[in-house]
Structure formats: C-alpha cells, structure tokens
C-alpha cells in the first residue's frame, strides 16, 4: 500500500528526514517510535502533504501512485488520513458540516453521488458510538473549546467517518489520560481490517498496549535505525531512548 524509499525532507533549510525506507502493506499496523526531534511528526506531516516541508530526495508510492506529487486534498481523497498531534480549532464550522463537506468532496473525486442526509446521519451515528462521541460535540464548531481528550477523540471519529485506506496517527496518545487513551485506542482497533493500514507515531510504548502493532520502527536523527516486532517497543520502554543512542553505530551498522 505504502512504499517510502530513501525519503529526505527539510524545513527552512534544515534537514529533518535523512533517508527513510518503509513499506506498509494492507492489514498492517506500524508503530514509529523515537525520541523528541527524531523526525516522527515530520514524517507524518510530509505524508499528509504539509507545504512547509520540502522533499529533497526519495519517493513515496501510495497504491502505486506518486503520493508526493499530489495536493494534500487529493491524498485525502485517495485514502490517506492524518490524525493531527495538535488538532486545529475552526470557529464557525460545525463538526457535522466539516464531515459532510469532506465526505462529499471525497465521493465527488471518486465519481460517487453525494450521500443523502438520512444515510449520512445514520452513518455518523454508528461511528459516534465507536469513540463514545457525545452528541453535542457534533453541532459545535470543530475542536473549539474541546478538551485535549475530546480533540483527539474527534480526530479518530473523523477517521472513522472518512474511512481511509491509510490512517496516520501523529502522537494521538500524547496528553491523554488512561481512560481517553483506551477509548481512542479501542476506536482504532475496531477500525482495523485486512483492507486498511495504520502508521502510529508515538513517543511512548503505552499506546501500543491497546493498538498492537505488527512492526515497530525506531526513528532517530531522521533515519529508521532499528525495526522489529512489538517486543521492540517493550525493550525501548525498559531501556529508554538512551539505549538507542548509545548503540546507534551498532544498529546502523547492521
């Protein structure tokens, strides 16, 4: 589904990603872990098409298509979804309005008819239960006045409605208490299917207790320096990122 080959990216002339290689197949969950400043969020943003980042080398194929050549909206319409680390507040635009417009823009791109209001509402209702989304949040402006947990839940809820092929979760766990974390993670687990895939960017191992990854990658200084299965996350948790830093030459040498 997703093939990242030797991806280099920079912002304001500063190199952040220095040669990422990653292949994600349908049905898989990949966790990207790493210390602050390693480039985790940059990778997520570059995949979603944030214009501030400049891709200086490499390529990204999404279902065989060149992702880097697409505008952010076309990536979304092709099935890429980014759950933001810091979801944006949009005063004056209701949650329900955002979802309806987004869904219809995506359907239009795929030459599908717009959803009629009844079908839309029914679908929304069924997805709301997935993340225990309170009813009143639907009519409220997007993320405005939401608590940190509500914002993250809203991201997962949007993902559930838009039903992307690839969900990228950018530190969705940061700032969440354990209850909110559980709700968010259960939502993602319920969305897993053989047709879709997830890239879960996180600093901590605890999210991976709930979203069990097939692969864990350690990102450091713009490169993936070690990959493994879920036990790698536990090892990291136990030994800390200093352990990675100390053994960097060893890992890179492998």
Partner 1 sequence: MDKHKELKELFNKGFTSLENRLNGGTKGELHTYRKDALKRFNELRFPTIKDEEWKYTNISPVIAKYFKPSADSAVIADAKGVDRFFINRNDFIHLVFVNGRFSDELSFGWKETEGFTVTNLKTAIKDKPEIVSGYIGKNAVIEDNIFTALSSAFIEDGTFIYVNKNTVVEKPVHIFYVTNSNEEIMNAPRNLFIAGANSQIKVIESYEALSSAAYFTNVVTEIFLEEGAVVEHIKIQDEALGAYHIARTEVSQKKASNYLSYNVDFGGSIVRNNLHTRFDESGAENNLRGLYLTSGSQLVDNHTRIDHAMPHCLSHELYKGVLNDSSRAVFNGKVMVRKDAQKTNAFQENKNLLLSEDALVNTKPQLEIFADDVKCTHGATVGQLSKDSLFYLKSRGFSHDTAMRVLIYAFASDVVHAIDIPEIRDYLEKKIAEKLATGLEN
Residue with smaller CB distance to partner 1, 90 or 123: 90
Residue with smaller CB distance to partner 1, 83 or 236: 83
Residue with smaller CB distance to partner 1, 161 or 232: 161
Are 85 and 151 in contact by the 8 Å Cβ rule? The answer is no
Task: Tell me how far, at minimum, the Cβ of 127 lies from partner 1, in Å.
Answer: 15
| DSSP class of 33 | E
Token pair belonging to 230 = 């879920």
Torsion 173-177-178-181 (CA) sign: negative
Residue with smaller CB distance to partner 1, 99 or 233: 99
Task: Please report which residue ranges of the chain form alpha helices under DSSP H.
Answer: 40-48, 72-78, 95-109, 117-130, 135-139, 148-162, 178-191, 230-239, 241-246, 248-253
Residues in contact with 196: Cβ distance below 8 Å, sequence separation at least 6, in sequence order? 26, 27, 163, 164, 165, 166, 167
Task: Tell me how far, at minimum, the Cβ of 82 lies from partner 1, in Å.
Answer: 5
Place of tokens 């092709």: 78
What is the spatial distance between Cα 128 and Cα 160, in angstroms, rounded to a whole number? 9
Task: Tell me how far, at minimum, the Cβ of 88 lies from partner 1, in Å.
Answer: 4
Q: Which of 22, 25, 23, 19 is nearest to 6 (CA)?
A: 19
Residues that bind partner 1 (CB under 8 A): 48-51, 71-73, 75-77, 81-82, 84, 87-88, 90-93, 97-98, 101-103, 105-106, 109, 141, 158, 162
Residue with smaller CB distance to partner 1, 159 or 244: 159
Task: Tell me how far, at minimum, the Cβ of 100 lies from partner 1, in Å.
Answer: 11
Task: Tell me how far, at minimum, the Cβ of 116 lies from partner 1, in Å.
Answer: 19
């Amino acid at each position: 589904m997703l093939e990242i080959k030797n991806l280099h990216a920079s912002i304001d002339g500063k190199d952040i990603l220095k040669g990422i290689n990653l292949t994600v197949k349908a049905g898989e969950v990949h966790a990207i872990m790493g210390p602050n400043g390693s480039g985790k969020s940059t990778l997520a943003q570059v995949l979603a098409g944030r214009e501030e980042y400049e891709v200086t080398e490499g390529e990204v194929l999404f279902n065989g298509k060149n992702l880097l050549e697409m505008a952010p909206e076309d990536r979304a319409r092709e099935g890429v979804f980014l759950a933001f680390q810091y979801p944006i507040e949009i005063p004056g635009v209701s949650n329900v309005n955002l979802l309806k417009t987004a869904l219809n823009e995506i359907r239009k791109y795929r030459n599908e008819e717009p959803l009629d209001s009844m079908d839309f509402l029914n679908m929304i209702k069924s997805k709301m239960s997935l993340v225990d989304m309170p009813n009143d949040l639907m009519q409220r402006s997007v993320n405005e006045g939401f608590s940190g947990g509500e914002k993250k839940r809203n991201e997962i809820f949007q993902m559930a409605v838009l039903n992307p092929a690839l969900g990228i979760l950018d530190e969705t766990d940061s700032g969440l208490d354990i209850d909110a974390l559980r709700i968010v993670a259960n939502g993602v687990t319920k969305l897993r299917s053989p047709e879709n895939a997830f890239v879960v960017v996180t600093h901590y191992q605890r999210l991976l207790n709930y979203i069990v990854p097939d692969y864990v990658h350690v990102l450091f200084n713009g490169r993936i320096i070690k990959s493994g299965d879920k036990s790698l996350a536990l090892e990291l948790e136990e030994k800390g990122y200093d352990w990675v830093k100390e053994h960097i030459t060893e890992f890179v040498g492998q």
